[in-house]
Every structure is written in structure tokens, then in C-alpha cells.
Amino acid sequence: MRHLIAQITKFGIVGVLAAVIDFGILNALVKFAHMNNVVAGTISFLIALAFNYILSMKMVFTHRDDMAKWMEMFIFAVSAALGLLMNDVIIWLATINLPSDAVYTMHSTYILYTNIGKVVATVVVAVWNFIIRKVFLDAPNSTISASRLERSLSHRIGRWSMNHNPFGSRT
């Protein structure tokens, strides 16, 4: 349990740093470039995602020895795409009731609603990311029995990926 709390804490620190990047870029694009909030949110999300991936895989999660690197990256990419979809839908919903030209005519309100949506999206996507990464990408705890590990979906996916490389080599 102590390990999980420490891991959640580290994930939170990395997440806060990524959120600062995400919110900063989002607000700069919406406020100064008058960019659509979903387009700006997509750009800021992707930049923050790259930062988050690098730090969380170095500081928070441990690479699974029973999973090929290509599968780790594939799972991360799929979960990130779903996270981006959640992010964009929530930001879009936050301003759906505003006029289509609100980015110009109601600029302050548009920014406020965008940020409220972004806060909700950040929480939802952070929970999503932690669960997916913990279940599929984090090395199993040493206290897990061998039989339980063998039955786990993440282990079976990992073992399969070690034997089926779409890129030709066995990595």
C-alpha cells in the first residue's frame, strides 16, 4: 500500500507539471491567438502528453520485463488517444451553449468556460491515465503470486507481444 501511495504522489507531481504546461499553452492559444478551444486543447494536450509520458515512465512506473517496448508504446498511444478524445469532448461541452463567435464576442466568458471544462477534463483524464498505466504498463508488484501474474491480462498481452513483433525483430 505504501508503494501505491508513493506512486500516486509521484504521478500527481508529474501530472501537476504537465497540467501547468497544458493550461499555459491552452490559455495562450485561446487568449492571444483567439484559437478555437478544442483545437487549442488538442495542441496543448499533445505537448503536455509528451512531457508526461517521458517523466512518468522514468519516475513513476517501472517497465514490465514481460512486455515488448512496442506494445508498451502501443498501449500508451491508444490510451492517450482515448484521453485526448475525452479531453476534447469535455472542453467542447463546456462552451457548447455559447454563440459560435464567442471566442471573439464573449472572449472572457469563453476563456472562463474553457478553463472550467479543462479542469474537469484534467481530472477525468488523469484518473483514466493512472488506471491504464497501472494496470497495463507498470511492472507487477513482487508480492503477486506467479499463478495470479500468469492469469493477468497485462501479462498475457505482454508475453504475446514478446513473441509477435510487427517490426520483425524480437524486442
Tens of pLDDT, residues 138-163 = 777 777 777 877 888 888 898 899 88
139 by Cβ neighbours in 10 Å (0-12 / 13-18 / 19+) ranks as middle
pLDDT digits (tens, 9 = 90+) for 80-112: 999 999 999 999 999 999 999 999 999 999 999
Mean of all residue pLDDT scores within the chain: 89
Transcribe 87-143 into DSSP letters: HHHHHHHHTTTS-TTHHHHTHHHHHHHHHHHHHHHHHHHHHHHHHHIIIIISPPPTT
Average pLDDT over residues 28-50: 96
Q: CB-hemisphere CA count at 13 Å for 122?
A: 22
Average pLDDT over residues 8-13: 89
Residue 73 has pLDDT above 90, yes or no: no
- Residue 60 has a CB neighbour count (10 Å cut-off) of 23
pTM: 0.82
